[in-house]
Structure 1
Amino acid sequence: MHSAATTVPTGTVEDLVRVGLLEVSADCHIHPTAVFLVADMLGTRRSIILGARVTISAFVVVHGGTRIGPDVHLGHHAIVGEPEYGYAMRNLYRGEGAATTIGAGSVVRAGAVIYADVQLGDNVMIGHNALLRTGVRVGSGSQLAANITVERGTRIGDGVRCSPGSHLTAETFVGDRVFLGAGVRTINDKQLIWRDPVHERPLEPPTFETGCRVGSGAVLLAGITVGAGALVGAGSVVTHDVPAGTIVYGVPARRYGWVSP
């Protein structure tokens, strides 16, 4: 643990290392203001593992159960492994921690919040003030830009680009190599019913199939599928499925052609 090039503050970090709740690999750099919270709100303690050459910047908070791969950078004020607490998405969460994984070579920029049970692949880029809620999965090489919100259970494939300010509603599926412009909005509830167990219906999140592209400011209604390779114009309101390889735009969006091979 204590190679000559490893920088750790005295006190809490070394106490955690000594009792086996924090593993720090060689050449890590941990700012003295970083905080490691190994116990969740129910009192369950989970260990934290830092791979080689991890950088943890000022005022970062890392929760128990987090596994950080080698060559990862956590920017100032980032939070990783935050336990979910309170009512959300038809469930009541008790503040229970879970395994959280940050893949090798990934960058989590300043102010980002990553909840417990999130898994990031290798070489993922998470932008400033991004929010990833419980159960999100992000494939290798994907980029989620600043101020994006990714709700619970969303699945994002490899090589995806999500531009700033977009919102992916709970349980959205985003296939490999999808491009989403800035300010894209998604909906998963056709009835707009909240906290009414008598009338609530299953959520119907949208699906973005492999290689499709969605322009900035587009809105996709519940249950919509954007087919593989399709192109949705900026500012469109998508009310019906978009067939693979087609070009649609407008309010409501209509088909106007085919994507050139």
Structure 2
Amino acid sequence: MTEKKYFVHESSYVDEPCEIGIGTKIWHFSHVMKNCKIGERCNIGQNVVISSDVRVGNNVKVQNNVSIYTGCILEDDVFCGPSMVFTNVMNPRSHVVRRGEYRPTLVKRGASMGANSTIVCGNTIGRYAFIGSGSVVTGDVPDYALMYGNPARQHGWMCACGIKLKFEGERARCGACGDEYEKTEQNTIASTAGPHRRVL
């Protein structure tokens, strides 16, 4: 019998078939449904449900009481805060079956979604975007955007390391890690160093 290279607490369930990467940990009272793919070094907290066919990248942290529904894709280094919420149907009714109407949600690399935030389905959360606690996201979010409120609106830009950026004109330099950014013609920002290095 081959020893598993990931950890599943005895109170949790992993349906077959599933693919789970090396070093991933799945903690108490969680359920991973069939045909999921979870990357390496992920931390899946207590009372988490990952529905069928979900894709989770490497080094993703899912805190307690989160349900990741069919149609969700989480890229590498995503953070899901405690009790944050995904959806996958826009107009649910108990008596109407809408499994064929699931709307996909894409959370790009490095994005963080704070505790009790809600991500309405059918939207994309950009790379290293930061969603404040309790926010309700109803549309696409640009890379590096700082969003909060209900509905969530943009209140600035965040460095990939998690510090709010202060722009002087068209450029900003992170006071913590030193990474530099510049505004683009598309009303977004980009790192002048190219793809951000992984922060360990």
Q: TM-score range by the shorter chain?
A: 0.7 to 0.9
Aligned residue runs from structure 1 range 216-255, under 5 A: 216-255=115-154
Identity rate of aligned residues, in percent?
A: 23
User: 1:230, CA displacement in angstroms?
Assistant: 0.3
- Written as runs of structure 1 = structure 2, the 5 A alignment for 1:75-90 is none
The match for 2:106 is: 207
In the other structure, the counterpart of 1:257 is 156
1:222: how far off?
1.2
Q: 1:145 — aligned with what?
A: 45
- The residue number in structure 1 matching 2:15 is 115
Distance 1:109 1:189, change over 3 A: same
Match status 1:131 vs 2:31: yes
**Alignment partner, residue 65 of structure 1:** none
Amino acid at match of 1:172: C
Q: Is the contact between residue 107 and residue 125 of structure 1 (CA under 8 Å) also seen in structure 2?
A: yes
Q: Which has the larger radius of gyration?
A: 1
Q: Could you give the per-residue CA deviations for residues 201-260 of structure 1, whole angstroms, max 9, x where no partner exists?
A: 531032110010010101111112110010000011111111111000011100000003
Amino acid aligned to 1:123:
G
Measure how far apart 1:200 and its partner are.
Answer: 6.3
SS of 1:234's equivalent in the other structure is coil
- 1:87-114 per-position Cα deviation (integer Å, ceiling 9, x unaligned): xxxxxxxxxxxxxxxxx2x111131011
1:191 Cα deviation from its structure 2 partner? 2.2
The letter of the residue matching 1:164 is N
Following the alignment from structure 1 to structure 2, what is the Cα–Cα distance between the partners of residues 129 and 176?
Answer: 24
Unaligned runs of 5+ in 2: 160-178, 180-200
Question: What is the count of residue pairs matched by the alignment?
Answer: 160
Q: Which runs of 5+ in 1 are unaligned?
A: 1-49, 52-69, 73-103
For residues 132 and 29 of structure 2, what CA distance do their matches in structure 1 show? 27
Which residue identity does 1:209 align to in structure 2? K
Q: Which has the higher contact order (CA 8 A, sep 6+)?
A: 2
Q: What is the SS of the residue equivalent to 1:255?
A: strand
1:189/1:205 contact within 8 Å kept: no
CA distance in 2, matches of 1:107, 1:178: 20
* 1:184 matched residue in structure 2: 84
CA distance in 2 between counterparts of 1:232 and 1:181 reads 10
Q: How far apart, CA to CA, are the structure 2 residues paired with 1:193 and 1:119? A: 32
